[in-house]
Structure 1
């Protein structure tokens, strides 16, 4: 609950103790007191003070005449308390409603984004060779280290390894929030992701996913691993760019046996663009992206890796923002050719 709501509930505690709040407000305060230690303490202290005060005033026969106030003023005060609590309750309910609407909107936007990503992933899958064939060509191997599926929590660990000296590194989550998906196939529901941890070493990456638990009757769990990228070293290539406008490059290069054509670069006031093509058929060799970096006049380095621009068209554009600190002239370097590998699918029996 927000700080504003917290303070509002704190102000309502005296009315709450006197049972002078409406039922909806009482329910909200009840729930808040179960989790807020500060309000619990204040409520207990206030309740103790009120009880002690009431005990000391037991001798007063006509409480409506306390301090000489007529009974209609007492009733008016009580009515004002009730009206105030109703207004405060409506404010709390409005804030809670606004928060829920905000959550629903965020979930709708996330769902829309996920749907767009799934559609793009499906287009990629339809263009690319079978994932098993790409895995074999990539030079990367996946080993499953741990697959523990329990009712309270599940754990899935795996390792990427490679011995190709031309591979600099392997990375997940390189062009969108690209997560592992785990499903209880017996009950047809998703195991929610709780935590992802990764570690890298020479020629090896480890990934660990903590997931929610399974049902008592779960028999099979399906795993769809994230797409990942393999970053291959190219032969050295660099070119100094014109300070404004286009620089013609017109260079054919080969990386990991895949052919590319780098056509030109362009510098605008806001961005730097590099135009290139993958010459080999995606459906035969898989989808590759080129990754570039820049060095400025002061030999300062600018790079977006491990993030890349994911594009499936033949004509592609790699772009940088023109950072304020960049000093012309700029030198363009080819950093990597990046193979995108579709995440592997597995089914595991639960013992």
Structure 2
């Protein structure tokens, strides 16, 4: 992991500040992959289309990128996925090649990747409301999508993992679509920046306290540090974690989000819920992207897939999913 981090362009390891945020966003937009729909189809391996669905009241439509293994009939389980990027960067398409290869193909999953609006162009709750509007639409149009509304798994990595956790809380409290499970990979949950690991691991990889403060400030705006900020804005603030879908929570031992992820899994257990927690020894934030061939990356990918397979099997798939070696 250390060698992989050292190989990163030093410019990307510089702290993100309010002063350089716009420049960093522009650099990210220019350099982060954004494959075309045709590229995502991978020569016919996947059926892919971009959808525009109604957004939150008074807001613009939300873009969802829909993808599934070509030739599979329905209804398929659905992975409703939020990309990472600290709430200020990233795009819905960049994550799909990995998600499709690692989960959709071997498990027979349909995927919807959400193009939520980014901070600070919008503040909380707009990005979360984008995700919620898309989820409600997907559940209500399950037949059109060829998916099973009873087998929707929500998930994401980093900021996307935090949005997935917030979405589960919001859907529970609004009586919205019930998710079968939630997969939270290195989730961005705690805006306090007060955990031990957030200080211990600051600057170890590409994250640091300055950058995280900038990201939370961009997302929360004038609500930053407000005592009555709701848990949907930062799920670590939640005092009631009961009634949530089973969770897969993954963090690295050498990342700033380690302790908040561990605490969130513990809170779910204490509330009587189900959580599977993995703390990968020596792994930093985004370790699977930085070192895709590392042994710990392979172990992590295998564990995620096994959890999803078990979750879908327990729900009853309604059709045979492809074998693990597909």
TM-score (norm 1): 0.22
Q: Which has the higher helix share?
A: 2
- Of structures 1 and 2, the larger Rg is shown by 1
Higher relative contact order (CA 8 A, sep 6+): 2
Report which of the two has the higher share of strand.
1
Q: Under a length normalisation based on structure 2, what TM-score does the superposition of the two structures give?
A: 0.24
